[in-house]
């Protein structure tokens, strides 16, 4: 396995933080601002204990300087990778977004709807950027030994494009996926199979412990997975948990306390949980501190594994070999004997989302679910097939942030486990994806 860490560069003078007042930067070779240097230094501290194999960067100085700061503690030389250079915005370069919208209204609107369908006047196309960026990353991966960890430092257009391409997301996801300055987005690559797993998205807890919010007033969902139980891998033999009403073990209780500490300052209006003990126990401490009622909801209930329930992997493989094999390769095609399918889970999740969106239009809501439930919701909001659930990571007690805006759902954070960093090694053991 090769771990890929994608990093967006730190702040420059042209990163205003307000869309209409930001300029199209592209290949304009801007330096890091003082705040950008501080962001890069915080990122370097975050990665100081990670055994990095190599650090690659866009040739532009804001990305290269960020990469050099990250590489410093590891005594690595940053390697320039031209394929990571950002878009050439041509006639738009240096102009405010608001000015471009006025002068090229049709093209700007198309770019905001589908950036892969547009060639920028006098500049590049995002489709061309995707082709060269993915080719560059594949070239790097082919040269790395197994068990490597590589950092790729680039620009917002590149990191968005890479996240979409490596995760197999549709073109429309470009505007759904958040990429903040100096964020970390993580993938695991298996060289033998060529499979890429999305481990985490837009992690900025080294810069700001608060959770991100999109512009606008739509409902914001803080989706958590329950803490560890005795049937999670790392605690004992992993079993199909489903509707079995397991309590948290000691590690799970410690994870719940860490999660509570992480969320105690968030403006939480309501807390919904699966009716099972392990989910309710995960968010009960938070509900108590915030003075919020804990509302059980069927929409978040774990998948019904039917006759698989309580079996270990080996037991399920022996008893139902064809169905178990299909569950690992084409999970969307499986209906568990006496139980549910992923489509069933998706239907009740969508119904729950509609109700919560209507009831909490401008509020932050905590949802406590399960691995499969959370994976199905992630695939639904990312716009990818349910067969991809094994390639979207959801660790125990992890956090995900989604927000509904006028144009649809935004994915602001995925599989955030920063709050678990201070737990012991044994406490941090989490379930694998299958």
Asked whether residue 408 carries a pLDDT value surpassing 80, the answer given is: yes
Least confident segment among 39-53, 173-187, 419-433: 419-433
Higher pLDDT, 431 or 349: 349
Angle at 393 between CA 136 and CA 319, to 5 degrees: 120
Asked whether residue 86 carries a pLDDT value surpassing 70, the answer given is: yes
Same fold, 2-203 and 220-420: yes
User: How many other C-beta atoms can be found within 10 angstroms of the C-beta atom of residue 73?
Assistant: 14
Architecture of the domain delimited by 2-203: 3-Layer(aba) Sandwich (3.40)
Asked whether residue 302 carries a pLDDT value surpassing 90, the answer given is: yes
Q: In 21-54, which positions are buried (b, 16+ CB within 10 angstroms) versus exposed (e)?
A: eebbbbbbebebbeebbbbbbbbbebbeeeebbb
* 404 in Cβ contact with 373 (< 8 Å): no
Asked whether residue 299 carries a pLDDT value surpassing 80, the answer given is: yes
The pLDDT score that the predictor gives to residue 254 is 97
> How far is Cα 118 from Cα 101, in angstroms, rounded to an integer?
14
Asked whether residue 374 carries a pLDDT value surpassing 80, the answer given is: yes
Percent of the chain with pLDDT over 90: 87
Based on the number of CB atoms within 10 Å of its own CB, is 322 exposed (0-12), middle (13-18) or buried (19 or more)? exposed
User: How many other C-beta atoms can be found within 10 angstroms of the C-beta atom of residue 78?
Assistant: 21
The pLDDT score that the predictor gives to residue 20 is 53
Q: What does the pLDDT average to over 160-185? A: 95
Asked whether residue 429 carries a pLDDT value surpassing 60, the answer given is: no
The pLDDT score that the predictor gives to residue 431 is 30
Based on the number of CB atoms within 10 Å of its own CB, is 253 exposed (0-12), middle (13-18) or buried (19 or more)? middle
Asked whether residue 430 carries a pLDDT value surpassing 80, the answer given is: no
Asked whether residue 434 carries a pLDDT value surpassing 60, the answer given is: no
pLDDT tens across 191-230, in order?
988 999 999 999 999 999 889 998 877 899 999 999 999 8
The pLDDT score that the predictor gives to residue 423 is 72
Q: What does the pLDDT average to over 93-111? A: 93
Domain ranges across the chain: 2-203, 220-420
> How far is Cα 408 from Cα 338, in angstroms, rounded to an integer?
35
Size of the chain, expressed as the number of residues it contains: 434
Q: What does the pLDDT average to over 234-262? A: 91
- Taking phi first (over 0 means left), then psi (-120 to 50 degrees means alpha), and beta for anything else, what does residue 187 get? beta
Q: What is the average pLDDT value for the chain, to the nearest integer? A: 92
Class of domain 220-420: alpha beta
Q: What does the pLDDT average to over 297-325? A: 95
The pLDDT score that the predictor gives to residue 421 is 86
> How far is Cα 306 from Cα 326, in angstroms, rounded to an integer?
16
């Amino acid at each position: 396995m090769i771990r890929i860490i994608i990093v967006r560069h730190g702040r420059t003078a042209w990163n205003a933080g307000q869309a209409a007042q930001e300029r199209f930067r592209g290949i304009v070779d801007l330096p890091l601002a003082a705040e950008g240097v501080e962001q890069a230094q915080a990122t370097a501290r975050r990665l100081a204990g990670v055994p990095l194999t190599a650090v690659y960067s866009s040739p532009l100085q804001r990305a290269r300087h960020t990469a050099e700061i990250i590489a410093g503690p590891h005594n690595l030389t940053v390697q320039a990778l031209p394929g990571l250079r950002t878009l050439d915005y041509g006639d738009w370069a240096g102009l405010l977004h608001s000015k471009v919208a006025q002068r090229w209204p049709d093209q700007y609107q198309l770019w905001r709807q589908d950036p892969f369908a547009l060639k920028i006047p006098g500049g590049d196309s995002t489709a061309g950027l995707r082709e060269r960026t993915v080719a560059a990353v594949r070239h790097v991966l082919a040269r790395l030994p197994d068990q490597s960890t590589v950092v790729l430092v680039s620009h917002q257009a590149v990191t968005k494009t890479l996240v979409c391409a490596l995760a197999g997301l549709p073109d429309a996801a470009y505007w759904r996926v958040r990429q903040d300055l100096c964020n970390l987005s993580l993938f695991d690559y298996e060289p033998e199979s060529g499979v890429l797993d999305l481990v985490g998205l837009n992690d900025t807890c080294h810069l700001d412990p608060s959770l991100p919010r999109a512009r606008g007033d739509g409902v914001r969902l803080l989706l958590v997975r329950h803490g560890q139980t005795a049937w999670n891998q790392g605690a004992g033999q992993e079993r199909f948990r489903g509707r079995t009403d397991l309590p948290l073990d000691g590690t799970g209780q410690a994870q719940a306390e860490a999660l509570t500490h992480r969320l105690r300052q968030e403006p939480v209006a309501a807390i919904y949980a699966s009716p099972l003990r392990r989910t309710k126990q995960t968010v009960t401490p938070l509900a108590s501190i915030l003075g919020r009622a804990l509302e059980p909801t069927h929409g978040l209930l774990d998948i019904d594994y039917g006759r698989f329930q309580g079996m270990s992997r080996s037991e399920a493989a022996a008893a139902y070999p064809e169905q178990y094999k299909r569950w690992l390769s084409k999970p969307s095609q499986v209906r568990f004997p006496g139980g549910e399918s992923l489509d069933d889970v998706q239907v009740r999740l969508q119904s729950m989302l509609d109700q919560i969106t209507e009831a909490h239009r401008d509020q932050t809501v905590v949802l406590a679910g399960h691995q499969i439930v959370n994976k199905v919701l992630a695939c639904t909001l990312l716009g990818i097939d349910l067969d991809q659930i094994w390639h979207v990571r959801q660790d125990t007690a992890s956090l995900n942030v989604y927000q509904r805006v006028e144009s649809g759902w935004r994915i602001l954070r995925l599989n955030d486990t920063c709050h678990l960093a201070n737990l012991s090694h044994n406490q941090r053991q989490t379930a694998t994806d299958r």
